[in-house]
Amino acid sequence: MKYNIDNLNHETLLALYKNMLKPRLIEEKMLVLLRQGKISKWFSGIGQEAISVGVTMALNSDEYILPMHRNLGVFTTRNIPLHRLFAQWQGKASGFTKGRDRSFHFGTQEYKIVGMISHLGPQLGVADGIALASKLNKKSQVTAVFTGEGGTSEGDFHEALNVASVWQLPVLFCVENNGYGLSTPTKEQYNCENIADRGVGYGMESHIIDGNNILEVYNKLASITESVRKNPRPVLIEFITFRMRGHEEASGTKYVPQELMDAWAAKDPVLNFEAFLLNENILNDTENEQLKDEIINEINEHLDIAFNEDDIIPSESVELNDVYQNYNYQEVINNSELNEVRFIDAISDGLKQSMEQHEDLVIMGQDIAEYGGAFKITEGFVKQFGKERVRNTPICESAIVEAAMGLSISGMKSVVEMQFADFVSSGFNPVVNYLAKSYYRWRQNADVVIRMPCGGGVAAGPFHSQTNEAWFTKTPGLKVAYPAFPYDAKGLLATAINDPNPVLFFEHKGLYRSIRQDVPTDYYTLPFGKASLLKEGKDVTVISYGAAVHWALETLANNPEISADVLDLRTLQPLDMDTIYASVKKTGKAIILQEDSLFGGIASDISALIMEQCFEYLDAPVKRVASMETPIPFAKQLENQYLPKNRFEAELKNLIDY
């Protein structure tokens, strides 16, 4: 192996060697502990150390790196104390996830590392968001993100590279092409000669680097990072290397031809560089043995610390309190000046005033800039706030949700507009697996609001009419708001943006231009988790949200003999069960009206909770009324049959007569 040491002093050469040697010795120790049953699982990066170390040393300490589970050298080169890494792998409290996740599935703001999730692809888009924050704040920083050649087959890879190229984000997309995705060889993974060739399609600079040559990695990365800091842009880098052990140890390497293993063993980055330093008299045998002894002693010392740490004692309160970042709601009282506005105007005003309140707030979505969005909610925003903060996006829901997560990691707020709530399915994974779980996993909040234009009644058919809140109300870590009135929509949107936790904000399209109300002209907030008592009565409790609230009120107006409490939930997570219980205990009967189809909807959970907590107060079974168990159809007569509006009156009267 040829090494070019031009312009590199002995100190740097020795640092490169030491930083490769350390993860190698840790891994060798971990393999022993695995055989002894002292750790449960291990993903080996033996043979790939040059990539992790070279990239990390080429970056500044304040620049983010998003590694994978074979990038131990990233963590050790950033000088994370070994006992914390060991504790992380053993599920101890002094690790980074309080025992809630394993191996390298964690991040740490202290060391500017953002770890992976098992779905691989989402971290690529997160890197876009971090780089976007750097670019917006004019920090001249680079963000490096890792994936394997297998990960390049995921849609997230395409979306992230496309967004980075369109927005010219300073991201290094580092692909470790190590021959196999578990047991699938590269010839079955992609059908182009080189992954780097894909850069042409994205209008992106790309490089192919010998990933086993530490000096080639370091020298080229040092040059690329310096250039990207001066001229922000994405760069695709394919590192050619090989995975010398199994995907994880249990899977082995029997599927790899032995001659291929032998050929790559001869290219070992640590052993070859060690031999080079010894031959060049940059390192002598005594110094080398002393260095190894120092690292081995450090490993053993820190293993003792981790092994001697007590196991975590489970606590329900601790676990439950760590699902969401604590948020102390600050009430902003509305002023006395009112203006009658439509539902859609209230949302637009609320969003605009939040943009004024938070100078770091970025909104992203398809066609939201000059065009003003599909429903014209952001019309005029570009003129007031500029295109850096009001960003048209390519059609790539996953990457934009992930970019929003990256902005949050960088301390910024974001609002993402799904053009229609239905389309969130294309970005479902990062919502439920990244945004929802990050705070619980490693105390990184997701300060993201996703606006969800939803609902039927407008003859838009099965792909533009769903009300899919139940996908998210069952996911711990997410908050869900679903207002029915302009006043609530404006105040709750302001609170959603202030809240550091991820919020799905549902906006019923059928209400946009059909509902008007007097709304304060100034900025104000409303609390989450507080239902609104719209009407008081004694016979029955009617519980609803969104457009269905108006159906319930219309039905009661047509039946003045029915005396009912009407509760508008306003937020579905958190849910105001105390107000529900109090009303049901008073009336003795409850009916829940939702636009979503019946099975698995939130009405089912509310019904179950009422039965569990108010059974002795009930004079009749709890009744649920919802849409049919079909996709929502297009034709008006079919949609009318699908929706529960016309069935609600009969069901309500049956309950009253029970």
Q: What is the 3-state secondary structure (H, E, C) of 536-588?
A: CCCCEEEEECCHHHHHHHHHHHCCCCCCEEEEECCEEECCCHHHHHHHHHHHC
Which tokens in the block code for residue 605? 């959970």
User: C-alpha angle with apex 257: 253 to 262, nearest 5 degrees?
Assistant: 90
Nearest partner of 484 among 347, 583, 645, 634, judged by Cα: 347
Q: Helix, strand or coil for residue 390?
A: strand
Nearest partner of 269 among 15, 4, 24, 6, judged by Cα: 24
CB 172 within 8 A of CB 145: yes
CB 46 within 8 A of CB 57: no
How far is residue 542's CA from residue 549's CA, in Å, rounded to a whole number? Answer: 9
Burial 141-161 (b: 16+ CB within 10 A, else e): bbbbbbbbbbbbebebbbbbb
Residue 10: other Cβ atoms inside 10 A: 13
Q: What is the 3-state secondary structure (H, E, C) of 280-323?
A: CCCCCHHHHHHHHHHHHHHHHHHHHHHHHCCCCCCCHHHHHHCC
CB 454 within 8 A of CB 506: yes
Report which residue type is found at 330: Q
Identified catalytic residue from 69, 302, 464, 508: 464
**361-365 and 390-392 beta bridge pairing:** parallel
Which tokens in the block code for residue 353? 């005033």
DSSP letter at 488 equals: H
Which tokens in the block code for residue 215? 């000096």
What are the backbone dihedrals phi and psi of residue 624, each rounded to the nearest 5 degrees, phi first?
-115, 135
Q: Residue 262: CB partners within 8 Å, gap ≥ 6?
A: none
Q: Which residues pair with 207 in a beta bridge?
A: 237
Which tokens in the block code for residue 356? 């004024």
Is there a catalytic annotation at residue 550? Answer: no
Token match 């949200």: residue? 545
Q: CA-CA-CA-CA torsion for 7, 11, 13, 14, nearest 10 degrees? A: 170
Nearest partner of 610 among 652, 642, 579, 647, judged by Cα: 579
Catalytic residue numbers read 464
